Amino acid sequence: MACPTPVSSSSTSQQSTRNEHGTFDDAMHEQIRSTHVPDGRVVDVTPVLQVTHNVLRHIIPNINLSMNGHIDASDDQTNLSAVDGELDDALHKICCELSCKCSRGGDAHATTMAIFNMLSSYSWGAKVVLTLAAFAVNFGEFWLIAQLCTSNSLAKSVALLKQPDILEHSQILKSHFDALSKLINAMVDVTKCIVELTELPSKYISIDEPPLSTAMAHIYTATYWIISSVVVCAGQITSLKGMRHEFTTLTLEAWELSSLTHKVSSIHEHLQSQLRLCYECIDEKKLMGAFEHFKRTIETTQVDNLKILQNIFGKEEKLLNPDRAEVSINVLRKKYVLLLISDLDISQEEIRVLEVVYKERVSSGRKYEIIWLPIVDRTTWNDGYQTKFSTLQSIMSWYTVSHRVAIEPAVIKYIREEWGFVKKPIAVTLNPQGKVLCPNALNMIWIWGNSAFPFSSEKEESFWKDEPWTLDLLLARLEPNLPTWVHEYPHITLIYMCISINMLNLFLVLCCYNQVSQLKVVCFYGGVKMEWIESFTTTTKEVAKAFGIGIEMVYVGKKNARERVQKITGLIKEKQLSHAWEDDNVWFFWNLLESMLYSKTQHGRTIENDVIKQEVKTMLEYDSSKNGWALFYTGSDEMVKANGENVLSTMESFNEWEKLAKQMGFIPVLRNKLEGVIQHHHCTRLILPGNGGRIPERVQCAKCDHPMELNFLYRCGE
C-alpha cells in the first residue's frame, strides 16, 4: 500500500525553508560551517557525479545537462569499482534519510542539517555529489517503475502498491515535472561548480587568497541550498507516490519549485563568475611560470638556437619553408635567424620591400633566414582573419608558421613586454647560438640593407658613428635618377658653351661653368592638398626658369595616406606637374625616416647632439602638419627645406630676392628667406605611431628646442 502522506507536507517543508533560510545571517553561516569537520581524505567523486548525471538525463527527456539530451552508450559505462566503500555506505544512509524523513513530512531544514552532520568528514564537493546521487537513486526508482508499468507486469504490480499511474496523468503533471526538471538542471550545474572549485590545483591558486577564498565563502550557502533543494524535491516525489487523484496542490508546488530554481540559478551564476576569476588566476600563474622559464632559457647561453626555437613553438615544431613545404625547425639549427613579428595588419609594401633585401642576401654573401611569427588574438579568430593570414603567408618568400596558434602564449607575453612589440612589425635577431643580437633589426635593415648584417645593436651603433647627413643616406635606394640629375645639367652646359665660343674665352667659360654647376636643383615635396601642389610646382618651375637653373621635382606623398596619395599621384602624372613615386617607394621613404628616428633614439641620441636626428624629426614634423612641404637639394649637398605655406609664399615673392640670389646663390638666399619667414610662425607638430618604438615621453621641438606637449591623436590609417 502506498504510504499515507498529508497533501500539504511538501508545501509545509518548502514554506519552512523559505521562512527560515531565505536569507543567511552570520549565525546560519556558522551553523553550517560547524558541521564541516574534514578528515583530510581525498575522495574522487567525479565517477559518482557522472553516473548521477546519466541517471537524471534518462529520467526526464527534456532535461539538458550539457549533452543536449543525446544518450551515448559510453555514458552508462562509467566504472565505479574504484569508488571508496565508505561512499556507498554514505550514499545508502542519505537515501534512507530522504525516504524516511520525507515520507513522514519532516521539516526540510532539519533534514538538511541532518545530512550535513552525516557528511561532516567529506569535502564540500563530496557533500553535494553524494546528496544529489541519493536523490537520483530515489527518483530513478520512482521513474523506472512509472515507465515500465505499462509493459512489465512486475513493474505494474509494484506501481499498484507503491505509486499512482503517473503516465496516465501526464498532462496534469506536465507543469509540475517541467518545474522539477529545471530545478534538477540548476542543481547539477551548481554541483559541478562546487566540485570544480574544490578541486582547483593548489599549486596555482591558494584557498586563503582571493579569488578562491571569496568563492569558498559562498560555497557554504551553495551547498546548503543544493541539499535543501534535494530534500524538497524528494518530498514532492514522495507526495506523488501517496497521491491517487488528489492533484489540487500541484500548481502551488510547481510555483515553489520555480521559486527555488530561481534561487539556485542565481547561486550558479555567482559561482560561475567566481570560477572564471579562479581560472583566470590559474592561467595567469601558469603563464607567468612559462614566461619565466622562457626568459631564463633565452637569456642563458645555449649550444645552438634550437632550444630557443623549440620554446617559441612549443609542441608545434613544424614550419612552412619558402616553397610552402612543411619542414622541421631543425633546418634552422645554427643559423642566423630573424624573427619577423607582426599582427595581420602588416602592409604588403613592407613585405615587398623586405623581400628585396631578403633575396639580395645571397648575392651579398649574408647567410640568414627569416621566420614570420604572427601575433593574433585566439579568442576573436574568424574566417576573415584566416583568409588574411593565408593571403599574407602566400606572398612571403621566407619561413612562416604552419598554424596561426603555433606560438606559445608565454612567448607572446615575452615578445610584448621584453621586445616591446605592440603593433608595428619588429625583427628580432638570433645568432646561431640563439643569443638575441638586437630586439628590432628592422630599423637598420631599412636604412642600410644587408650591409648591416649580422644586424646587431653593436653594428647599428658603429654605422651611426661616422654617418653624415646627406640626401644619399635618405634616397640612395629610392631615387636611382638622383646622381644623373645633379650632374647632367652642368655637363650639357659646358659642351654647349665650348662649341659656341672660341678658346680665347675658355677662362670665362670655366668661371661660368663653376657658377652654373651649382645651380642644378632637385626638389622633393609632399602633402595631399592638390591646390597647393599645383600652385607650388607651377610657381617653382617659373622661378627656376627665370633664374636660369635646371630643376627636377619629385612628389613623395604623405605618411599613412595611401589612397589619397594614389589619387594625387595620378593627377600629377596626368597634368605632368612633376615626377611621382609609386606606392612602395612612398611607404619606404616615410618608414625610413621613422626608422632613423627610432634607431637614433634607441642609441641615446638627442636633438642637441645629433644633426641627423634633428633633420629627420623636422621632416616628420612637416608631414604631420596639414600643409605640404618641400626640400631643395644640389649636387654639392646643399639642402634647404620648409613647410608648404612658407615655401610657396617665398617662391611667389621671388622678384623681391632674385637680384640677391644671382649674387649669393639660389640655395643660400632661399634658406635666408625661409628662415626669416619661419621666425614669424609657430612651430610645427610631430605625429608618430604610438607603437613604433620606445620613444621617450619628453620630446623637444626640432625648431625651437622647447619641450613638445604630449597629446593623444586617433587617426584612420586610410
With b for 16 or more beta-carbon neighbours within 10 A and e for fewer, the 177-213 pattern comes to: bebbbbbbbbbbbbbbbbbbbbebeeebbeeeeebbe
Are residue 558 and residue 593 in the same domain, yes or no?
yes
* Higher per-residue pLDDT: 8 or 575: 575
Percentage of the chain exceeding pLDDT 70: 75
The answer to whether residue 11 sits within a structural domain is no
Are residue 499 and residue 437 in the same domain, yes or no?
no
- The SS3 assignment for 77 reads helix
Confidence band of 634 (pLDDT split at 50, 70, 90): confident
Residues 6 or more apart in contact with residue 492 via CB below 8 angstroms: none
Are residue 451 and residue 514 in the same domain, yes or no?
no
Reading the block at residue 662, the C-alpha cell is: 644671382
Query: Using alpha carbons only, how large is the chain's radius of gyration in Å?
Result: 41
User: Does 18 score more than 60 pLDDT?
Assistant: no
The answer to whether residue 717 sits within a structural domain is no
Tell me 373's DSSP state: E
Specify the pLDDT at position 690: 53
* CATH code at position 326: 3.40.30.10
Q: Compute the distance between CA of residue 520 and CA of residue 483 in angstroms, rounded to an integer.
A: 11
The answer to whether residue 295 sits within a structural domain is no
Beta strands in 115-250 (DSSP E): none
Contact by Cβ (8 Å): 92, 100: no
Domain boundary (430, 463, 496) is at 463
Nearest to 250 by CA among 167, 176, 177, 139: 176
Calculate mean pLDDT across residues 328-356: 93
Are residue 545 and residue 679 in the same domain, yes or no?
yes
Calculate mean pLDDT across residues 196-216: 90
Specify the pLDDT at position 239: 72
Are residue 314 and residue 403 in the same domain, yes or no?
yes
Q: Which uninterrupted H or E stretch holds 406?
A: none
Are residue 149 and residue 201 in the same domain, yes or no?
yes
State the total domains in the chain. Answer: 3
The answer to whether residue 3 sits within a structural domain is no
- Domain of 284, in residue numbers: 28-64+85-289
Contact by Cβ (8 Å): 183, 257: yes
Nearest to 591 by CA among 441, 438, 442, 715: 442
Domain boundary (441, 463, 485) is at 463
Contact by Cβ (8 Å): 441, 338: yes
Cα→Cα distances 597→443, 693, 698, Å: 9, 9, 14
User: Does 193 score more than 90 pLDDT?
Assistant: yes
Residues 6 or more apart in contact with residue 331 via CB below 8 angstroms: 319, 321
Confidence band of 517 (pLDDT split at 50, 70, 90): very low
The answer to whether residue 618 sits within a structural domain is yes
The answer to whether residue 216 sits within a structural domain is yes
The answer to whether residue 644 sits within a structural domain is yes
The answer to whether residue 283 sits within a structural domain is yes
Calculate mean pLDDT across residues 613-632: 86
The string of pLDDT tens digits covering residues 246-302 is 555 555 677 778 889 999 999 999 999 999 999 999 999 999 999 999 999 999 989
Domain boundary (231, 258, 289) is at 289
Q: Compute the distance between CA of residue 218 and CA of residue 193 in angstroms, rounded to an integer.
A: 11
Least confident window among 268-272, 617-621, 675-679, 694-698: 694-698
Q: Compute the distance between CA of residue 312 and CA of residue 406 in angstroms, rounded to an integer.
A: 8
